[in-house]
Homo-oligomer: A and B are copies of this chain.
């Protein structure tokens, strides 16, 4: 038959994803991925029709990665809101490039923010028992306001304009939750 496959689609995708984590999406080029895998650019175009297809796959993997990150994140807060917030802000800090890709710069045809939060299983928001007050359905409401705040802190951490230690962040999140909840 034919020659045996030595460079798999997994090797390529994993490498591209690792590069996205480390250097950001825009540095994932055909030649750079190939070089890191240790092959020519051919195998890439054998398993992916184009770089766009590979980038799509990386994006999807980033979305899954965020889901897993949230699931594993220790839920030590007093409320599901602060847990969600802590996980989200930590993710922005620790996975700057992935956060940018998913929640800031996006990508043509990117998933919506709430779609990314819920994922395939609806885990994040659902598990947080926030189903009743899902953001999209209560504009100006509690979840929307809290979410705007959480997203704001995460984005500011990207540019270095927010850098409170986790303890302080947790306090602040629970503080503003109180503020919003008691207001109504």
Contact = CB atoms under 8 A, between A and B. Distances in A.
Interface in A144-183: 145, 147-153, 155-156, 158-162, 164, 168, 171-172, 175-176, 178-180, 182-183
A172 B140 contact: yes
Contacts of A106: 159
A182 to B, nearest CB: 8
A17 interface: no
Number of chain A interface residues as a range: 35 or more
A139 interface: yes
Contact of A164 (B140, B159, B168): B140
A86 to B, nearest CB: 14
Contacts of A139: 164, 168
Contacts of A149: 145, 148-149, 152
B152 A153 contact: yes
Contact of A140 (B104, B112, B168, B178): B168
Nearest to A104: B104
Nearest to A156: B151
Interface of A: 103-106, 110, 112-114, 139-140, 145, 147-153, 155-156, 158-162, 164, 168, 171-172, 175-176, 178-180, 182-183
8 contacts: A104-B159, A114-B161, A139-B168, A140-B172, A145-B176, A148-B156, A151-B156, A182-B183
